[in-house]
Amino acid sequence: GDSVTQMEGPVTLSEEACLTINCTYTATGYPSLFWYVQYPGEGLQLLLKATKADDKGSNKGFEATYRKETTSFHLEKGSVQVSDSAVYFCALGAGGSYIPTFGRGTSLIVHP
C-alpha cells in the first residue's frame, strides 16, 4: 500500500539556519504530494503541494520539489525563524480512495 516516511525528530536549529526535512514515499501510479504544518495547539494546515514530477511547491519561504526518480519530496527553507517551530507532516494522495496518506510528522524547534 501507499506509505510516507519522514525523518525522525525533533529537528533543533538556531534562528537563520537552513532547514531540510526529508520525506520519501511509496505509491502506485502518480501521486500528488503535500506538506502540512501544525503549530502548537492547532490543527494541521496545508503548507504547499506538488501534483506532478519536477513540480516545485512553495509557500512562506518553504519549498519542496517532487522527485519521481528518488520518490522524494524534501521540505527546505533557507533561513528559519522561531515562528517556524511546529510539526511538519508529509502526505500523499493517490488512487481512488481520496484519503491522503500522512507521514508521522517531524517536530521542528527553532531557538533564538
Partner 1 sequence: NAGVTQTPKFQVLKTGQSMTLQCAQDMNHNSMYWYRQDPGMGLRLIYYSASEGTTDKGEVPNGYNVSRLNKREFSLRLESAAPSQTSVYFCASSESGSEAYEQYFGPGTRLTVT
Binding site for partner 1 (CB under 8 A): 32, 34, 41-46, 49, 89, 91-93, 98-100, 102-105
Q: How far is CA 63 from CA 29, 53, 73, 74, 95, in A?
A: 23, 14, 9, 8, 25
Q: Three cell numbers at 72?
A: 522524494
Nearer CB in complex with partner 1: 17/102: 102
Whether 103 and 91 have beta carbons less than 8 Å apart is answered as yes
Closest approach, Cβ 44 to partner 1, in A, equals 5
* Residues sharing a CB contact under 8 Å with residue 45, sequence separation 6 or more, in sequence order: 36, 37, 38
Burial class (CB in 10 A: 0-12, 13-18, 19+), 43: exposed
Nearer CB in complex with partner 1: 24/100: 100
Closest approach, Cβ 33 to partner 1, in A, equals 9
Nearer CB in complex with partner 1: 11/17: 11
Closest approach, Cβ 34 to partner 1, in A, equals 7
Nearer CB in complex with partner 1: 20/51: 51
